[in-house]
Protein backbone atom coordinates (compact mmCIF):
# COMPACT_ATOMS: atom_id res chain seq x y z
CA UNK A 1 0.00 0.00 0.00
CA UNK A 2 1.36 3.42 -1.01
CA UNK A 3 1.50 5.72 2.03
CA UNK A 4 2.30 8.98 0.31
CA UNK A 5 0.56 11.24 -2.22
CA UNK A 6 2.38 12.07 -5.43
CA UNK A 7 1.96 15.85 -5.39
CA UNK A 8 4.51 16.15 -8.18
CA UNK A 9 1.89 14.91 -10.68
CA UNK A 10 0.37 18.38 -10.87
CA UNK A 11 3.77 20.02 -11.28
CA UNK A 12 4.90 17.71 -14.05
CA UNK A 13 4.76 20.20 -16.92
CA UNK A 14 4.19 23.88 -17.53
CA UNK A 15 0.68 23.47 -18.94
CA UNK A 16 -0.57 21.73 -15.79
CA UNK A 17 1.22 24.20 -13.53
CA UNK A 18 -0.43 27.11 -15.35
CA UNK A 19 -3.81 25.38 -15.22
CA UNK A 20 -3.90 25.03 -11.43
CA UNK A 21 -2.00 28.15 -10.32
CA UNK A 22 -4.23 30.12 -7.95
CA UNK A 23 -2.31 33.39 -7.50
CA UNK A 24 -2.26 35.74 -10.47
CA UNK A 25 -0.63 39.04 -11.32
CA UNK A 26 -1.75 41.62 -13.86
CA UNK A 27 -0.90 45.21 -14.63
CA UNK A 28 -4.16 46.16 -12.89
CA UNK A 29 -2.44 45.34 -9.59
CA UNK A 30 0.30 47.99 -9.73
CA UNK A 31 0.71 51.63 -8.78
CA UNK A 32 3.91 53.35 -9.91
CA UNK A 33 5.52 56.07 -7.73
CA UNK A 34 6.84 59.22 -9.43
CA UNK A 35 9.07 61.99 -8.08
CA UNK A 36 8.18 65.47 -9.35
CA UNK A 37 10.78 68.19 -8.84
CA UNK A 38 10.20 71.91 -9.03
CA UNK A 39 12.14 73.48 -11.89
CA UNK A 40 12.56 73.02 -15.64
CA UNK A 41 14.19 70.55 -17.99
CA UNK A 42 14.85 68.03 -15.21
CA UNK A 43 15.15 64.30 -15.72
CA UNK A 44 17.67 63.27 -13.15
CA UNK A 45 18.40 59.65 -12.29
CA UNK A 46 18.34 58.84 -8.59
CA UNK A 47 21.69 57.29 -7.73
CA UNK A 48 20.34 55.10 -4.95
CA UNK A 49 17.45 53.87 -7.11
CA UNK A 50 18.65 52.77 -10.57
CA UNK A 51 16.25 53.57 -13.43
CA UNK A 52 14.19 55.90 -11.24
CA UNK A 53 14.19 59.62 -11.97
CA UNK A 54 13.17 63.02 -10.70
CA UNK A 55 11.09 64.82 -13.32
CA UNK A 56 10.14 68.44 -13.74
CA UNK A 57 6.62 68.98 -15.05
CA UNK A 58 7.84 69.89 -18.54
CA UNK A 59 9.47 66.43 -18.75
CA UNK A 60 6.40 64.48 -17.65
CA UNK A 61 4.60 64.07 -20.98
CA UNK A 62 6.85 61.35 -22.41
CA UNK A 63 7.02 59.53 -19.07
CA UNK A 64 3.26 59.48 -18.53
CA UNK A 65 2.69 58.33 -22.11
CA UNK A 66 5.15 55.47 -21.53
CA UNK A 67 3.46 54.51 -18.25
CA UNK A 68 0.03 54.40 -19.90
CA UNK A 69 1.32 52.43 -22.90
CA UNK A 70 2.79 49.84 -20.53
CA UNK A 71 -0.62 49.27 -19.01
CA UNK A 72 0.02 50.88 -15.62
CA UNK A 73 -3.27 52.24 -14.33
CA UNK A 74 -2.20 54.44 -11.41
CA UNK A 75 0.63 56.71 -10.28
CA UNK A 76 1.57 57.95 -6.80
CA UNK A 77 3.10 61.43 -6.81
CA UNK A 78 5.80 62.76 -4.47
CA UNK A 79 6.84 66.41 -4.66
CA UNK A 80 10.28 67.96 -4.31
CA UNK A 81 9.98 71.73 -3.82
CA UNK A 82 12.65 74.38 -4.27
CA UNK A 83 11.87 76.14 -1.02
CA UNK A 84 11.34 74.62 2.43
CA UNK A 85 10.37 76.19 5.73
CA UNK A 86 9.46 75.24 9.29
CA UNK A 87 5.78 74.71 8.44
CA UNK A 88 6.08 73.31 4.93
CA UNK A 89 3.85 76.02 3.49
CA UNK A 90 4.43 75.03 -0.13
CA UNK A 91 2.86 71.63 0.58
CA UNK A 92 -0.62 73.18 0.48
CA UNK A 93 0.00 76.11 -1.86
CA UNK A 94 -2.13 76.27 -5.01
CA UNK A 95 1.14 76.81 -6.85
CA UNK A 96 2.94 73.96 -5.10
CA UNK A 97 4.79 71.39 -7.16
CA UNK A 98 2.25 68.60 -6.64
CA UNK A 99 -0.74 70.85 -7.25
CA UNK A 100 0.76 72.03 -10.55
CA UNK A 101 1.74 68.49 -11.54
CA UNK A 102 -1.76 67.16 -10.86
CA UNK A 103 -3.35 69.91 -12.93
CA UNK A 104 -0.95 69.20 -15.80
CA UNK A 105 -1.52 65.45 -15.76
CA UNK A 106 -5.31 65.67 -15.46
CA UNK A 107 -5.46 68.23 -18.27
CA UNK A 108 -3.42 66.11 -20.66
CA UNK A 109 -4.24 62.51 -19.66
CA UNK A 110 -7.72 61.24 -18.89
CA UNK A 111 -6.90 57.55 -18.54
CA UNK A 112 -4.63 57.32 -15.52
CA UNK A 113 -5.44 57.37 -11.82
CA UNK A 114 -3.60 60.18 -10.05
CA UNK A 115 -2.90 59.54 -6.35
CA UNK A 116 -0.99 62.02 -4.22
CA UNK A 117 1.14 61.34 -1.18
CA UNK A 118 0.05 63.66 1.62
CA UNK A 119 2.87 64.47 4.02
CA UNK A 120 5.17 67.31 5.07
CA UNK A 121 8.64 65.78 5.24
CA UNK A 122 9.65 66.88 1.72
CA UNK A 123 8.50 70.43 2.46
CA UNK A 124 9.73 71.18 5.98
CA UNK A 125 13.21 72.56 6.60
CA UNK A 126 13.67 70.07 9.46
CA UNK A 127 12.51 67.03 7.45
CA UNK A 128 9.93 65.82 9.94
CA UNK A 129 6.39 64.90 8.90
CA UNK A 130 4.60 67.65 10.79
CA UNK A 131 4.70 70.83 12.83
CA UNK A 132 7.29 70.89 15.61
CA UNK A 133 6.73 71.96 19.20
CA UNK A 134 9.82 71.74 21.41
CA UNK A 135 11.48 69.49 18.82
CA UNK A 136 8.56 67.07 18.91
CA UNK A 137 5.93 66.66 16.18
CA UNK A 138 2.67 68.15 17.45
CA UNK A 139 0.01 65.61 16.43
CA UNK A 140 -3.13 67.75 16.61
CA UNK A 141 -1.61 70.83 15.00
CA UNK A 142 -0.13 68.69 12.24
CA UNK A 143 -3.42 67.09 11.22
CA UNK A 144 -4.84 70.56 10.53
CA UNK A 145 -2.03 71.06 8.01
CA UNK A 146 -2.33 67.55 6.61
CA UNK A 147 -6.03 68.02 5.90
CA UNK A 148 -5.30 71.33 4.14
CA UNK A 149 -2.68 69.62 1.98
CA UNK A 150 -5.11 66.85 1.04
CA UNK A 151 -7.79 69.36 0.11
CA UNK A 152 -5.35 71.34 -2.05
CA UNK A 153 -4.44 68.16 -3.95
CA UNK A 154 -8.08 67.29 -4.57
CA UNK A 155 -8.86 70.87 -5.60
CA UNK A 156 -6.11 70.45 -8.21
CA UNK A 157 -7.77 67.27 -9.51
CA UNK A 158 -6.26 64.33 -7.60
CA UNK A 159 -8.36 61.16 -7.83
CA UNK A 160 -7.22 59.82 -4.45
CA UNK A 161 -5.12 61.01 -1.51
CA UNK A 162 -2.67 58.91 0.49
CA UNK A 163 -1.71 60.41 3.88
CA UNK A 164 1.67 59.06 5.04
CA UNK A 165 2.36 61.35 8.02
CA UNK A 166 1.30 58.73 10.62
CA UNK A 167 -0.52 61.19 12.88
CA UNK A 168 -3.39 59.91 15.02
CA UNK A 169 -6.70 61.16 13.66
CA UNK A 170 -5.39 62.27 10.28
CA UNK A 171 -7.85 60.17 8.27
CA UNK A 172 -10.81 61.66 10.13
CA UNK A 173 -9.47 65.18 9.61
CA UNK A 174 -9.05 64.58 5.86
CA UNK A 175 -12.41 62.87 5.45
CA UNK A 176 -14.10 65.74 7.28
CA UNK A 177 -12.57 68.51 5.17
CA UNK A 178 -13.14 66.64 1.90
CA UNK A 179 -16.79 65.95 2.72
CA UNK A 180 -17.31 69.55 3.83
CA UNK A 181 -16.04 70.65 0.41
CA UNK A 182 -18.31 68.16 -1.40
CA UNK A 183 -15.56 65.71 -2.30
CA UNK A 184 -17.49 62.83 -0.80
CA UNK A 185 -16.44 60.42 -3.58
CA UNK A 186 -12.67 60.95 -3.25
CA UNK A 187 -11.12 57.86 -1.61
CA UNK A 188 -8.47 57.94 1.10
CA UNK A 189 -5.68 55.38 0.85
CA UNK A 190 -4.08 55.64 4.27
CA UNK A 191 -0.60 54.50 5.26
CA UNK A 192 -2.25 52.71 8.16
CA UNK A 193 0.63 50.32 8.87
CA UNK A 194 3.90 52.18 8.33
CA UNK A 195 6.93 50.98 10.22
CA UNK A 196 9.98 53.01 11.25
CA UNK A 197 12.18 51.15 8.81
CA UNK A 198 15.70 51.12 7.46
CA UNK A 199 14.26 50.21 4.06
CA UNK A 200 13.37 53.86 3.33
CA UNK A 201 16.93 55.15 2.92
CA UNK A 202 17.00 55.36 -0.91
CA UNK A 203 13.64 57.16 -0.92
CA UNK A 204 14.91 59.78 1.50
CA UNK A 205 17.75 60.49 -0.93
CA UNK A 206 15.30 60.63 -3.83
CA UNK A 207 12.83 62.94 -2.10
CA UNK A 208 15.36 64.92 -0.04
CA UNK A 209 13.24 64.12 3.01
CA UNK A 210 15.55 62.79 5.72
CA UNK A 211 14.99 64.40 9.15
CA UNK A 212 17.68 66.92 10.09
CA UNK A 213 17.68 65.64 13.67
CA UNK A 214 16.32 62.64 15.55
CA UNK A 215 14.14 60.05 13.85
CA UNK A 216 10.47 59.23 13.22
CA UNK A 217 10.04 56.47 15.76
CA UNK A 218 7.55 58.46 17.85
CA UNK A 219 5.02 58.45 15.01
CA UNK A 220 5.97 55.55 12.74
CA UNK A 221 5.39 52.07 14.14
CA UNK A 222 7.89 49.88 16.00
CA UNK A 223 8.66 46.76 13.95
CA UNK A 224 9.14 44.78 17.16
CA UNK A 225 5.40 44.93 17.88
CA UNK A 226 3.18 42.16 16.56
CA UNK A 227 -0.26 43.47 17.51
CA UNK A 228 -0.22 47.26 17.30
CA UNK A 229 -1.11 47.31 13.61
CA UNK A 230 -4.57 45.87 14.31
CA UNK A 231 -5.47 48.94 16.37
CA UNK A 232 -4.07 51.25 13.70
CA UNK A 233 -6.20 49.67 10.99
CA UNK A 234 -9.32 49.60 13.13
CA UNK A 235 -8.86 53.31 13.85
CA UNK A 236 -8.40 54.20 10.19
CA UNK A 237 -11.46 52.21 9.14
CA UNK A 238 -13.58 54.03 11.74
CA UNK A 239 -12.19 57.37 10.57
CA UNK A 240 -13.08 56.73 6.93
CA UNK A 241 -10.13 55.07 5.16
CA UNK A 242 -11.12 53.26 1.96
CA UNK A 243 -7.83 51.44 1.30
CA UNK A 244 -4.91 50.93 3.64
CA UNK A 245 -1.22 50.63 2.93
CA UNK A 246 1.22 48.28 4.62
CA UNK A 247 4.78 49.59 4.34
CA UNK A 248 7.40 48.15 3.86
CA UNK A 249 6.04 45.06 2.16
CA UNK A 250 8.28 41.99 1.95
CA UNK A 251 9.51 41.97 5.59
CA UNK A 252 5.85 42.16 6.69
CA UNK A 253 4.16 39.34 4.77
CA UNK A 254 2.84 38.05 8.10
CA UNK A 255 1.11 41.38 8.69
CA UNK A 256 -0.35 41.42 5.18
CA UNK A 257 -1.69 37.89 5.62
CA UNK A 258 -3.25 38.57 9.01
CA UNK A 259 -4.84 41.81 7.83
CA UNK A 260 -6.17 40.11 4.70
CA UNK A 261 -7.84 37.43 6.79
CA UNK A 262 -9.25 39.84 9.39
CA UNK A 263 -10.50 42.87 7.43
CA UNK A 264 -12.70 43.21 4.37
CA UNK A 265 -11.06 46.29 2.90
CA UNK A 266 -8.51 46.55 0.05
CA UNK A 267 -4.84 46.21 1.02
CA UNK A 268 -2.06 48.05 -0.79
CA UNK A 269 1.42 46.81 0.01
CA UNK A 270 4.23 49.29 -0.65
CA UNK A 271 7.29 47.53 -2.05
CA UNK A 272 9.56 50.34 -0.90
CA UNK A 273 12.77 51.86 -2.21
CA UNK A 274 15.13 49.71 -0.15
CA UNK A 275 13.45 46.52 -1.33
CA UNK A 276 13.72 47.74 -4.92
CA UNK A 277 17.32 48.94 -4.69
CA UNK A 278 18.57 45.72 -3.10
CA UNK A 279 17.22 43.73 -6.05
CA UNK A 280 18.79 46.15 -8.53
CA UNK A 281 22.15 46.12 -6.73
CA UNK A 282 22.32 42.33 -6.41
CA UNK A 283 21.35 41.94 -10.05
CA UNK A 284 24.03 44.39 -11.17
CA UNK A 285 26.62 42.34 -9.29
CA UNK A 286 25.38 39.17 -10.96
CA UNK A 287 24.25 37.59 -7.71
CA UNK A 288 20.60 37.09 -8.72
CA UNK A 289 18.33 36.86 -11.75
CA UNK A 290 16.44 40.16 -11.51
CA UNK A 291 13.39 39.03 -13.47
CA UNK A 292 12.93 35.84 -11.43
CA UNK A 293 13.42 37.58 -8.09
CA UNK A 294 11.10 40.47 -8.96
CA UNK A 295 8.32 38.14 -10.07
CA UNK A 296 8.78 35.92 -7.03
CA UNK A 297 8.56 38.95 -4.74
CA UNK A 298 5.40 40.22 -6.42
CA UNK A 299 3.70 36.83 -6.31
CA UNK A 300 4.61 36.59 -2.62
CA UNK A 301 2.85 39.89 -1.95
CA UNK A 302 -0.24 38.77 -3.84
CA UNK A 303 -0.24 35.35 -2.18
CA UNK A 304 -0.07 36.99 1.25
CA UNK A 305 -3.21 38.98 0.46
CA UNK A 306 -2.25 42.24 -1.27
CA UNK A 307 -4.93 43.62 -3.56
CA UNK A 308 -2.69 46.45 -4.80
CA UNK A 309 1.10 46.66 -5.02
CA UNK A 310 2.86 50.02 -5.05
CA UNK A 311 6.23 49.31 -6.63
CA UNK A 312 9.11 50.91 -8.51
CA UNK A 313 9.34 47.64 -10.47
CA UNK A 314 6.03 48.33 -12.25
CA UNK A 315 7.54 49.28 -15.60
CA UNK A 316 9.81 46.22 -15.58
CA UNK A 317 6.85 44.04 -14.63
CA UNK A 318 4.96 45.16 -17.73
CA UNK A 319 7.65 43.39 -19.74
CA UNK A 320 8.11 40.43 -17.39
CA UNK A 321 4.42 39.53 -17.29
CA UNK A 322 4.32 39.27 -21.06
CA UNK A 323 7.16 36.76 -20.96
CA UNK A 324 5.74 34.27 -18.47
Tell me the binding residues. 119, 121, 129, 204, 216, 273, 312
Give the C-alpha separation, 96 to 104, whole Å. 12
Rounded Cα distance between 156 and 138, Å, is 27
| DSSP-H helix ranges across the chain | 14-20, 60-69, 97-108, 139-156, 170-180, 201-206, 228-239, 253-262, 273-284, 290-304, 314-323
* Residue numbering of the annotated binding site for Zn(2+): 119, 121, 129
Contact assessment for residue 35 and residue 48, using Cβ atoms and an 8 Å cutoff: no
CA pair distance 301, 95, nearest whole angstrom: 37
Phi, psi of 242 (to 5 degrees): -100, -30
Q: What angle do CA 218, 269, 190 make, to 5 degrees?
A: 55
The catalytic residue positions are: 194, 247
Distance, CA of 249 to CA of 245 (rounded, Å): 9
Amino acid sequence: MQLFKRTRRTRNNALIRDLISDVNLSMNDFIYPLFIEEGNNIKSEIEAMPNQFRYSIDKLKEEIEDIINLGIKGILLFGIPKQKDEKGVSAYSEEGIIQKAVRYIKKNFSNILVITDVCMCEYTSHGHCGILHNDNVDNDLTIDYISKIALSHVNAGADMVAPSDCMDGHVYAIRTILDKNRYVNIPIMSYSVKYASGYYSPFRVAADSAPSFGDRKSYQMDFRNGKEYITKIENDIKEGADIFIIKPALPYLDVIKTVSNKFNIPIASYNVSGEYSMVKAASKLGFIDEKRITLENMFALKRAGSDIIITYHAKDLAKYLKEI
